Structure 1
Amino acid sequence: MFKSRILSNSTLPLLTLFTTWNDNPDKYIVHNLTLINWRSFFPSVIPVVFTNESSVINECNKAGVTALPLSNVAADGIPVLKYMFRDAMNHSKTSLYAFSNSDILYTDTLIRTLAQLINSTTRYFSRPVLLVGCRTNVDNVTLEEGLHWENITRISQSRGKQFTDWAVDFFITSPSFPWNEVPEVVIRRLGYDNWLVYNSRKMKYNVIDATKTILAVHQKTLAGNNEGRNHSNRDYNFNLLKKCIKVYNIKKV
C-alpha cells in the first residue's frame, strides 16, 4: 500500500536511512550486504551512505544507493551525528529520518512498525519523536543468509542473541527533532546513545523503544561488539558532554 502511494507521489517515503563507514576489506561482505538489504526497502526507505572515500562511493553507485559527503567530523575524523541528520533532511523529504550502524540488517518489521506509527495516531508527532532499538547479534552472516528478509529472521531466531539493553544501534527521529540543539557528539564512540535517550526523556519528547517490533540484526565479525572501546579517543563524547552539562548549569544559575 505504501509503495504504490509513494510511487504515485500521494504520500512521502517513510524513512531516510543513513550510515557511514570507512573502506575496510575485512568488512566488505558486511557492508555489501547492508547496501543490498537497505536498497530492498526502496521506495519506502531512502538509503544514504555518508563518505568521502572514492572506494565507498563506487560501492554505493554499484548498489544504487546515494552517497553524500561528510560535511563535519571531529575526534580525528569521526563523523558528527547531528550534521548527518541535517544533511539527510536537506537531501530528501521523508516522514522520518534514521541513523543506523553500518553493519545492521533489517526486515519488513521496519516498514510495518513505522507505517503503524505514522498511521495510528498523530499524537506521537505533537512533540519531537525519538525511536530507538537494540540489536540482535548473529555471528558470520553469509551472503545467502543476508539477502532475504525471511533468512534474516530465521538466523536471528536460530543463532541470534540480543545485545545489552544499554547499547542503541539505530535512532529514528521526526523532522521536528531539534538536532541543532544537540552537542557535537560523534558516532562509534561511547556515551552518545545513552545521553540522547536520557536528554530526550528529560525534554519530554516522545521516546519509543522499538526493540521488540523492529528486528535489527548485527553482522558480528572478529572485531566483536566493542570496537569503540579500543581507541585512544574512546571518551571523546563523555568529555564533550561533561563540558556541555557544566556550561548549561552555569548558565542556568
Structure 2
Amino acid sequence: MSPPKLVFYVTVVVFAGVVIFTRDLLYLVRTETRYGQLDQYDHAVRNKHHMDQANLKILRAKAGLVHDENNIELNLTLRFQVNGGENEVRQKLKYVDKTVKTSKKEAASQGEITFETPSLLTLFTTWSGKGDVNARTHNFTLRNWARLKPEVNPVLFIDDGYDATVAQRLGWKTHRIPKSSINGLPVLKDMFKVIKDTYKSTFYGYANSDILFTSNLVETLVHVYYDSFYSDNTTLVTGMRTNIVNLTEEEFSTQTTLLNAVSTRGQLYMTSAEDYFIYAAEYSWSDMPEFVVGLIAYDNWLVLNSRYREDHVIDASRTVTAAHHTVREPDYQSHFRENAQYNKVLFRKMMQFHVEPPYEKGFTNCIDKYTEFVDKKIEIRSRKLEDPCLF
C-alpha cells in the first residue's frame, strides 16, 4: 500500500473514532445531567416528611399509602376454582369496582371474582443460607407472604446451606436454585422458568427478599386482570418500594399496623429502583439476558425492554404497598458489592457499539400506564411521557 493511501485510511479511522467518542461522550453527559434531575426529584420525594401535615397527607393519599380505616379490613369475596372444584369463599378483597369490564367471566357481573387457577399469583424470591445476616428480615418476609395465601403462592429458591423447615411450615414451596452465575448469585430467568413449568397461576412474579406486601397487591392484580388493557402474554406490573427502617414486631403484626407504619414513617424510594416484577401467565422471558438478582441494572432493563416491545407495562406504585424493611438507612449496597457492574455489562452488550444504556427509559416515571385509587376504587390511568422516556 502506498504511503498516501495509508495516510488516508489512518485519517479516516481516526476521524471515525473521534466522531464515535464525541457522540458517546455527549450521550453520557446528557445521561448524567438527567440522573442529576432525577436525583433532585427523588430527594424531594424521600424527604416529603419535612412538609406540613396537610400536604403530606395529600401526598400519601396520592401514593395509595393510606386508606380509610373502614377499608383496611377486607370485605368482599374472592372465589377460586381448583381442579374443577370450588374452594371456600375467601374474605380477601377490600372492594371490586363493578364498573370495570367483566366480559371475561360471567361471575364478575354478580360481584364474584372467579379464577380458574389454584392461585392468582405465584410469587418467588431467593436467598442464601450461608451466614444469613438478614435472618430477621427474611423471617418477616416468610410470615408476610404466607398471609396472602391462597391467592398468592409463595415460592423460595434456596441453596444447600439453607434450612427450609420454617418456610415449608408456613406453606411456602421451596426449590433449589436452578442456575447461578457470578459470585454464586441466582440467574433470574431460570427461576421464572421453574415456577412457570411447576405451578399454574394467572400471574407469575419475582420480588426482592426484603419486600413486604399487603392485600392491595391482590386487589391491584384483580383490577389489572379485568381491565381492557390487560393481555395474557404482554402484561408487566412493577413499582417503587417504600423504605421503612427497623420495622418492629408490633408494626409488622397485622396488615393494619403495617400500613400505618408505612404511612407514618415510610419513605417512598427512587423511580430508578423497581423491586417486584409481575407478569401475565403467557409472558415470554426468552429474550431476557442471564441477569442475576442482587446486583444493579437488571430492573431497568426489564422495564425498558418491555416498553420497547410495546408490551402492556403498568406502574402500580400508587396502589401496591411494597414495604422495604431494613435495619439501616438506604446505603446503595448493591452498587458496591463485588462485581456490582455484572448486569450493566450484559446490558451494554445489547446496545449498539456497547454504549451506556438509556437506563432512565426503564424508570417507573417512564411507564405511561399506572394504577391509582379513585373514589376508593382502582383505575388504570395514563400519563404523558416526554424526554428522556421516549424512544
Task: Report the TM-score, using the length of structure 2 for normalisation.
Answer: 0.60
User: Any conservation in 1 of the 2:186–2:292 contact (CA below 8 Å)?
Assistant: yes
- Of the three residues 159, 169, 172, the one matched with 1:62 is 169
Deviation of the 1:247 alpha carbon = 8.8
Structure of greater Rg: 2
In structure 1, give the amino acid aligned to 2:284.
P
Post-superposition shift, 1:135?
0.4
- When residues 247 and 18 of structure 1 are mapped into structure 2, their CA distance, relative to the original with a 3 A threshold, is farther
**Structure-1 residue corresponding to 2:86:** 8
Deviates more, 1:89-98 or 1:237-246: 237-246
Partner of 1:103: 210
Q: How far apart are the structure 1 equivalents of 2:121 and 2:162?
A: 26
- Structure 1 stretches of 5 or more lacking a match? none
Query: Which AA in structure 2 matches 1:97?
Result: Y
What corresponds to 1:94 in structure 2? 201
More relative contact order in 1 or in 2 (CA 8 Å, sep 6+)? 1
Letter aligned with residue 79 of structure 1: P
Unaligned runs of 5+ in 2: 1-76, 88-114, 356-391
**How many angstroms apart in 1 are the aligned matches of 2:144 and 2:232?**
32
Task: Write out aligned runs for 1:89-238 (5 A).
Answer: 89-121=196-228, 123-125=229-231, 127-222=233-328, 224-238=330-344
Superposed CA RMSD: 2.1
Q: 1:47 to 1:126 in 2, by over 3 A?
A: closer
| 1:13-58 per-position Cα deviation (integer Å, ceiling 9, x unaligned) | 1100100012345322211111111011111010000012343423
Q: What SS is found at the alignment partner of 1:26?
A: coil
Aligned length: 248
Matched position secondary structure for 2:328: coil
2:212 alignment partner, SS class: strand
Once the two structures are TM-superposed, the CA of residue 69 in structure 1 deviates from its matched residue by 1.0
* Structure 1 segments of 4+ aligned residues over 6 angstroms from their partners: none
Q: Is 1:16–1:47's contact at 8 Å kept on the other side of the alignment?
A: yes
| Residue in 1 that maps onto 2:191 | 84
Q: Find the residue that maps to 1:194 and give its secondary structure.
A: helix
Offset at residue 4 of structure 1 (A):
5.0
Q: Give the TM-score of the pair, scaled to structure 1.
A: 0.91
Distance 1:124 1:4, change over 3 A: closer
